[in-house]
Amino acid sequence: MKPAATEYGILYIDDEVKSLKYFEAIFSGLAPIYTAATPEEGFEIFRRNHRRIGIVVSDKRMPGESGLDLLRRIRAHDPKPLRFLVTAFSDLDAAVESLNDGLLYSYLTKPWDPDDLENRLSTALRHFQLERERERLLREKSEAVQQVLMADKAASIGILSAGLNHHLRNALTVMRTFYDLLPYQLAEEIEGEPKDTSFWGEFYEEVGGQMDRMTSILSNLSEGTKMSGLNLRGGIDLVGLFEEAGAIVLEDRDDIAHRVVGAEGLPAVEGDAQKLAQMARFLFDEAKATLRKGGEIEVSLALSEGGDGVTVIFADNGDPVPEEDLPRLFDPFYVRSNTPEELGTNLMACYLTVFHHGGTIRAARTEDGRNAVILNLPLAPLPPDAEDDGESEPASGGRLWRLADFSKRDLRPTGAALPS
């Protein structure tokens, strides 16, 4: 038997067992074949394998549920696979109506001719594959544009923060000095306790916390947006790096479970160990700030597809980030609704660390609904003075010159599949 010509399979549902065996024997060389003898069995097979199924063929008349009702359920679960209905000549009106309504891609009449059916299934599979390829290309292009826009925004913020940092820090230093001296000055001005101790206690503490927060934001902006070269060294164990970061950040949160899982034989990488460790701590900090009691964090690491990098999937079971906000998660001014006091400077710093290492990073959702940050790090970053298509690095230095090169990178989420 010749191997299937496509990775996408065909699901055939019919209560006649002989028809199922006949179908599988004839078309197994065309595509992987899934068969089911009942509507419930067919739907369960589709539910488990819908990402690998390109065509669903169902008989119309079956005990318990009609083929049309089954195909409606299948469309509601995943509308992408193409749907065929096998019907008797007397039921053609219902098939044509369903075809016009968009439920069916096509219909077949019994008995079907093997040669004609193979031609129609081949045509449908090609159509399905072209649609998936088109979606993939559009997705990659969109991700490339997002990466370029985010890198450009981060670079602009870096230039702005470098100019403002000095002045703002001077102002904060004056405010901090006044804050620290205020209790002593207050004690000299009055005798005994202040009249409103809650004001001088709670509000005073809140002011100090806000100044610390402003200082932290400035530090993150300053460190994260620096375009200086990386302090590269080899032999960095990313699994151990994430394990250590999790232990440090979650030391005071026994209510949050976390685990780091590395694929067997995962190679060490070359990079800036300090920046990579900071990036790992920032990821845990972000999850810690949003997780409630009973939260879970899972970090999985695997060799990227092609073997030239490591894919890290950082997932947590916190409140789902809205789909439309996922591309904005690395924006330094993005504010999560459940933690409005937190800005996105930590994740922006993570973004820039990955970018400077020549990798990619994006926010996503796992199949079971968890939030995930997926990053791909090369085993060895491209040297800053490396040539690109025969053109040398501009005199401006740093890695800013590589912004346009993002559109040339493979931005697909390669490597390990999203954990479920």
What is the domain-level CATH number for residue 307? 3.30.565.10
Residues 328 and 392 in one domain: yes
DSSP string, 339-368: -TT--THHHHHHHHHHHHTT-EEEEEE-TT
Say if residues 227 and 157 touch (Cβ distance below 8 Å): no
Buried b (16+ CB within 10 A) or exposed e, 84-114: bbbbeeebeebbeebbeeebbbbbbeeebee
Say if residues 384 and 356 touch (Cβ distance below 8 Å): no
Please give the single-letter amino acid code of residue 5: A
- Specify the pTM: 0.55
So what's the pLDDT on residue 142? Answer: 80
Residues 391 and 362 in one domain: yes
Residue at 21 is within a domain: yes
So what's the pLDDT on residue 237? Answer: 96
Residues 215 and 281 in one domain: no
The two structure tokens encoding residue 406: 């993002």
Query: Going by C-beta distance under 8 Å and a sequence separation of 6 or more, which residues neighbour residue 66?
Result: 60
Q: How many helices (H) and strands (E) does the chain have?
A: 10, 12
How close are the terminal C-alpha atoms of the chain, in Å? 34
Q: How far apart (Å, rounded) are the C-alpha atoms in residues 28 and 88?
A: 24
Among residues 224, 239, 272, the one where a domain terminates is 224
Among residues 198, 224, 250, the one where a domain terminates is 224
Residues spanned by the domain of 247: 229-408
Residues 168 and 266 in one domain: no
Residues 268 and 215 in one domain: no
Q: How many domains does the chain have?
A: 3
So what's the pLDDT on residue 220? Answer: 61
So what's the pLDDT on residue 419? Answer: 42
DSSP H or E stretch at residue 176: helix 114-189
Residues 267 and 336 in one domain: yes
Residue at 34 is within a domain: yes
Q: How far apart (Å, rounded) are the C-alpha atoms in residues 329 and 181?
A: 39
Mean pLDDT by 10 residues, the chain (420 residues): 68 92 91 94 94 93 89 93 82 69 83 88 93 88 75 68 70 83 76 70 80 73 59 93 96 93 94 93 89 90 91 93 82 60 69 86 88 93 52 35 35 38
Q: How far apart (Å, rounded) are the C-alpha atoms in residues 7 and 189?
A: 81
So what's the pLDDT on residue 214? Answer: 77
Residues 195 and 277 in one domain: no
Residues 74 and 95 in one domain: yes
Contacts of range 108-111, beta carbons closer than 8 Å, 24 or more positions apart: 108/57, 108/84, 110/86
Residues 265 and 345 in one domain: yes
So what's the pLDDT on residue 375? Answer: 93
Residue at 142 is within a domain: no
Say if residues 99 and 130 touch (Cβ distance below 8 Å): no
Residues 65 and 190 in one domain: no
Q: How do beta strands 269-271 and 296-303 pair?
A: unpaired
- Give the residue among 263, 265, 299 at the shortest CA–CA distance from 280: 299
* Strands (DSSP E) found in 178-316: 233-236, 257-262, 269-271, 296-303, 309-316
So what's the pLDDT on residue 71? Answer: 93
Please give the single-letter amino acid code of residue 68: L
Burial (CB < 10 A; 0-12, 13-18, 19+), residue 148, is: middle
Residues 175 and 264 in one domain: no
**For 161-214, how does the pLDDT look when each residue is reduced to its tens digit (9 = 90+)?**
666 676 777 788 888 888 888 877 777 777 667 677 777 777 788 888 888 877
Residue at 91 is within a domain: yes
Q: How far apart (Å, rounded) are the C-alpha atoms in residues 54 and 34?
A: 11
DSSP state of 417: P
Residue at 280 is within a domain: yes
Q: What angle do CA 375, 402, 329 make, to 5 degrees?
A: 40
Residue at 187 is within a domain: yes
Residue at 414 is within a domain: no
Residue at 144 is within a domain: no
